[in-house]
Amino acid sequence: MNKEDEKRSFWKTELFHLLLCLLVAFVAARLLSLYVVQFAVVHGSSMETTVSEGDLLIVGKMNYHLAGPKRFDVIVLSKDGKKDLIKRVIGMPGEDVRIEKGIIYINGEELHEDYGMDPMDPDAEPVEIKLAKDEYFVLGDNRLASLDSRFSTVGPVQRKEIQGEALIRVYPFNKIGVLS
């Protein structure tokens, strides 16, 4: 083999290895984003003061492959092709959810929440819903500005529409931290 053939062979081999590495990296990144973790950007003010417009969040998916969402989890969901919605889980599968005069009742008992949020309008139309075995009732923390399960455009959220749990805010840098 002459020197020119050796160079061509070297470049073919190196190019093959480079393309193979890029393919493996692409497949690994895709699998990670499908099953383990993804990023989400907050749009709107429905989850103020927990998260704000423009915040960048890390969304964990693996925990929801092992067990479903829990009450009060902050989740990212996709509903009818809308941008990612970020809401808090309030009602669990099979529960009766009723909202009357700004108070949430789960299976007839008042729900006591221990995080900061705006109250709901006590004069708003009452809401009453029986969740199916794979449905969740979600609300934004900023109850006066949130499009959530109280409204027919969102309604109950099916398990398959939930992408994962919002775990960590990574931007803006002065607000980096774990979400609760």
User: What letters, b where the CB count within 10 A reaches 16 and e where it falls short, cover 37-72?
Assistant: ebebebebbbbbebbeeebbbbbbbeebeeeebeee
- Between CA 82 and CA 123 the distance in angstroms is 29
**Which residue among the candidates 61, 87, 146, 149 is catalytic per the annotation?**
87
- Between CA 91 and CA 132 the distance in angstroms is 11
Q: Is 46 a catalytic residue?
A: yes
Maximum Cα–Cα distance for the chain, whole Å? 88
Beta bridge partners of 134: none
Alpha-helix residue ranges (DSSP H) falling in 36-163: 62-66
Torsion of CA 108, 113, 117, 119, to 10 degrees: 30
Residue in this structure with the two tokens 């900023």, named with its chain if needed = 142
Q: Is 82 a catalytic residue?
A: no
- Between CA 126 and CA 122 the distance in angstroms is 9
**Which residue among the candidates 9, 33, 45, 46 is catalytic per the annotation?**
46
Enumerate the active-site residues.
Answer: 46, 87
